[in-house]
Amino acid sequence: MQIKTITVNKTDKNKDGVKIDVVVPASDVEIELLSFLLAGFVRDSVNTSKLKVSLPDQYRITYQSEGSFLITTEAGVGASKGGGTPYYTPPKPVAVIAIQRSGKRFDLAYAAINQEAFKTQKAPADDAAKASGKKSAAKK
């Protein structure tokens, strides 16, 4: 494993952002090991309110890049669970986490992902069709 400095929270006001040191796995074995160990640590952190993320009952942690891991819901068919849909449900992102180093201490850096951004939106063509239908009804 390596320690790499990354920059987060860049904005127009703060163009330099905030630099943090994160743990970056160097091999596939390290990726799998950290994903395995993070699953329990994340669950404990949520239960003790150190991590303010709403986790589903079942979730998966996968490595992305630059020391960041993605927490997603489990993919699958929800019909077996009471009242679930019989169709395949793709995994949905819940949060991005990283193992942050501060001197000799390690902690989690995280950001919850807004689920509202993933909801389906109306197509502009649908809105245009409804608007034209209202205009034609108003002319009669």
49-100 pLDDT per residue, tens: 888 888 888 889 999 988 899 999 887 755 555 555 677 778 888 899 999 9
DSSP per position, 3-51: EEEEEE---SS-TT-EEEEEEE--SHHHHHHHHHHHHHHHHHHHHTTSS
CA Rg, the chain, in Å? 21
Look up the pTM and report it. Answer: 0.69
CA 92 to chain centre: 7
pLDDT of residue 77: 58
